[in-house]
Structure 1
Amino acid sequence: MSGPLYVPVLPTKPHAAGAFRGLWPDVRAAIRPLWNLPPLPGVAPETLATVVGKYVDPVSAVSRHGGWIDAPFGEDAQTAALADALAVYCEWGRLRPVTGPERTEAQQAAAVETARRCLRGLGVRVRVTGEWDGGLGEEVRGLLAGTGPEVAVDLLLDMGAVLDDRPDAGKEALRALDALMPLAVWRSATLLGGGFPRVSADMLEEGACEESRAEWRMWHEVRAAGRAYAPLLGYGDYGVQPPSALAQAPAPGRKGGPPWGVLRYTTDSSYVVVRTLTRGPDRIAVNRAAARRITELPEFRGARAGQGEEWLRDCANGPLSVSEGVGGPTEWLRAGNLQHMTYVVRSLPGG
């Protein structure tokens, strides 16, 4: 069993595609993203291909080393049209289809059929957002029975949000893996979890906060458990957004938003989040000070560490008389993902 070094769970949105495209080539080569279509409520099946193309064309173009494409929020009435639309990126691109035990039989069958045609394999995404349910193992066994030996399968064990309020997440992951690993000759197995918090204004009363990387701790706990599969277990997370961000439906006409945002920085054990302003007369000064707060951290890796750090350095040192370079929500998210993905790859064995 072998697999990618790092599997980030990312939305099929411009900021994520842009961040992935902006990574240094050696970092990008070590990553196989799990791309996620957003909910597309009410989109008619006959127009889905056009809508899907808007989201997936850019991420397929930057996924030259491969990855997975999933539509976890697809409606039942959209199943067939989604399968047809996504199959194009599996057959002619380098992405792989995804299914899971909680999906409908129609979605499972469509994903397996796409995997047979594209010959790139099938991602089996198993969600465990609480305690492990042994019944899931039997459902996965049934799903795998329909794949056949010609379809390579990749296990994507998705623990969802893994914060400090889930201290037993590592134990539950081990229970799940102990049940799932014997079910197939998995081509790869990856443990996914989202440790970045859902940031609120209350958390930033002091201007910044620090939250532990519980998903990183979970992965190390599982790796240290001594199981035979542990050394080959891949790592994945949700980047610098909470898992719930994937479920946000597009709102192209939406305007406004809160007057504040955040800069994000990843250290070995925590996420540092610093408040910024999206508008107002103090925006330039506050945002440059926020970047300086990060660049002055003992854990700051320096501008040469990656494009994310370079952007933070430039923002911190820019003039107070010019707004260019202070960014906005999209740029802050892009810089956060750039530094995070680069750091994760460099931190993993073999990175």
Structure 2
Amino acid sequence: MSGPLYVPVLSARRHATAAYRNLSPAVQSDVIPLWNLPPRHGTASDVLAAFMRREARDVSKAQRHHPAWIDLPFADETQLRLFAPVLRDLGKTSVLRPVTGPGRPEHQQAVALEVARRSASGVGIRVALPGEWDEGRTQPVRELLARLDPADEADLLLDLGAVRGDRPDAGKEALRALDALIPLTPWRTSAVLGGGFPEVTAQMLEQGLHAEPRTDWHTWQELAESSRSHTPLLSYGDYGIQPARAIGREPASGKGGPAWGVLRYTTAESFVLGKVLGRGEDRIAVNRAAARQFLELPDFRGPAASAGESWLRDCAHGHGPTGTGNASDWLRVGNIQHMTYVVRSLRPQPGSIPPTGPLS
């Protein structure tokens, strides 16, 4: 495979950039994130521009040693206009790759292609596939590629969005799309992105830990087991430990929201969820008890597996100064353990011997 091992779709929020920075160097080198700046509709232009500069700067600092993509898939015209000079500046000083796609506004496409040309970074072509593949969608991608400078490289980011139990044909539709899109150009990267994490409700967590199937991972296995010639070229991508639509939510303001939160843990088959409290007299006791439940899972990989598992250990037993955390902490440690586990699931551990033929 010539592309990255793993492409997580992440929101350009501080908990996510902190999670990426806290990956071990060996894991980080196999990860190329697709960073998404959150929408901020109705925000004053000067404030909006300042937010985007800060978010882009944070991502650029996190990625100073490795490339990544940066996108604004839910931006309105105002946000796109204000981000254009930020993107041009990034093209001069960072390894962030611009993203565009069919159906995007002409101005956004033009700026992304311009930055790709001037920076020699290449460009990500993000093709949304929330349902069935329509062959008529091939031509807009072909036309977009025709506008690239011959020296520019292009990355195919096939975005399935949410891949839950109500989409049993997601793998089949992805294969149809890939059959149409892969022959269009010698893509530098061909990644399939899908989000299997559920929308969590308090009721789901009332009886202790709750497990939800990793439907996105099952879809990936279907693709990986296909007989297509392009299968070895594909990179796996997901939305981490948040629902796919979370990247399209505007940042919350103030201190509202529920009094409870979620600890998250990824196993071979499931996302395991546990309820924690953000406030209240019982917060510390409840949160430490929840963390202990994760340590008791048969699939818990031990505190040395990543900074996510070590945080759970410390939370469970009251070690260290970090306490039982808050919503940002829970997202950060959840993404650390998830990204680490995904990379290790995709690549055999050092010292393992791959099979050389059928077993007798």
Specify the TM-score bucket, using the shorter chain as the normaliser: over 0.9
TM-score normalized by structure 2? Answer: 0.93
1:344 equivalenced with 2:342 (yes/no): yes
Indicate whether 1:247 and 2:236 are aligned: no
Structure 2 distance, partners of 1:208, 1:345, is 25
- 1:324, CA displacement in angstroms? 5.0
Using a 3 Å threshold, how does the CA distance of structure 1 residues 283 and 245 change in structure 2: closer, same or farther? same
Match of 2:117, SS? helix
Q: Does 2:268 match 1:277?
A: no
> What is the match of residue 198 of structure 2?
197
Q: Give 1:1-351 correspondences, 5 Å limit.
A: 2-43=2-43, 48-63=48-63, 64-252=65-253, 254-318=254-318, 324-349=322-347
Name which of structure 1's ranges 130-139 and 291-300 shifts more when overlaid on structure 2.
Answer: 130-139
Q: Show structure 1 runs of 5+ residues with no match.
A: none
Mapped partners of 2:347, 2:179: distance in 1 = 23
User: Partner amino acid for 1:311?
Assistant: W
Counterpart residue type for residue 296 of structure 2: E
Distance across 2 between alignment mates of 1:197 and 1:349: 26
TM-superposed deviation, 1:81: 2.8
Note closer, same or farther for the CA distance 1:184–1:45 as it changes in structure 2 (3 Å cut): farther
Q: Which amino acid aligns with 1:54?
A: R
SS in 1 for 2:343: helix
The Cα of 1:110 is off from its aligned counterpart by 1.2
Distance 1:350 1:137 in 2: 35
Q: 2:39 and 2:133 mapped to 1: Cα distance?
A: 26
For each residue in 1:184-219, what CA deviation from the matched residue of structure 2 results, as whole angstroms up to 9, or x when unmatched? 110110010011111011211212211111111111
Name the SS for the 1:303 alignment partner.
coil
Q: Are residues 281 and 49 of structure 1, via their aligned partners in 2, closer, same or farther at CA, if it must alter by over 3 Å?
A: closer
2:133, 2:173 within 8 Å by CA — same for their partners in 1? yes
Residues in 1 aligned to 2:146 and 2:348: alpha-carbon distance in whole angstroms: 34
Task: Give the TM-score normalised by the residue count of structure 1.
Answer: 0.95
Give SS of 2:304's match: helix
Which residue pairs with 2:355 in the alignment? none
Report the RMSD for the aligned CA atoms in angstroms.
Answer: 1.7
- The C-alpha deviation readout for 1:240-285, integer Å capped at 9, x for no partner, is 0011111111233x21321211100000111000111111222111
In 1: Cα distance, 2:346 partner to 2:89 partner = 32
- AA in 1 matched with 2:91: C
Question: Cα deviations across residues 158-205 of structure 1 (Å, max 9, x unaligned)?
Answer: 000011111111001101101110111101100100111110112112
**The 10-residue stretch of structure 1 (81-90 or 60-69) with the greater mean CA deviation from structure 2:** 81-90
Alpha-carbon distance between aligned partners in 2 of 1:316 and 1:248, rounded to the nearest angstrom:
31
Where 1:338 maps in the other structure, the secondary structure is helix
User: CA-to-partner distance for each residue in 1:295-332, whole Å, 9 max, x for gaps?
Assistant: 1000000001010000001111128xx99521111111
The separation in 1 between residues aligned to 2:61 and 2:174, in whole angstroms, is: 33
Q: Distance between the aligned counterparts of 1:286 and 1:47, measured in 2?
A: 39
1-structure distance, mates of 2:322, 2:71: 36
Query: How high is the sequence identity, in percent, across the aligned residues?
Result: 55
Residue 46 (structure 1) shift: 5.8
- The answer on whether the counterparts of 1:287 and 1:326 sit within 8 Å (CA) in structure 2 is yes
Q: Once the 2 structures are TM-superposed, how far is the Cα of residue 80 of structure 1 from its aligned partner? A: 3.3
Name the amino acid aligned to 1:339. Q
Quick check: 2:265–2:338 contact (8 Å CA) kept in 1?
yes
Instruction: Single out whichever of 40-49 and 132-141 deviates more from structure 2.
Output: 40-49
| Shift in Å, 1:75 | 1.2
Measured in 2, the distance between the counterparts of 1:115 and 1:34 equals 16
Q: Which moved more, 1:78-87 or 1:134-143?
A: 78-87
C-alpha separation between the residues in 1 aligned to 2:208 and 2:322?
A: 22
In structure 2, distance between residues paired with 1:266 and 1:106: 40
Counterpart in 1 of 2:354?
Answer: none
**How far apart, in 2, do the equivalents of 1:167 and 1:141 lie?**
28
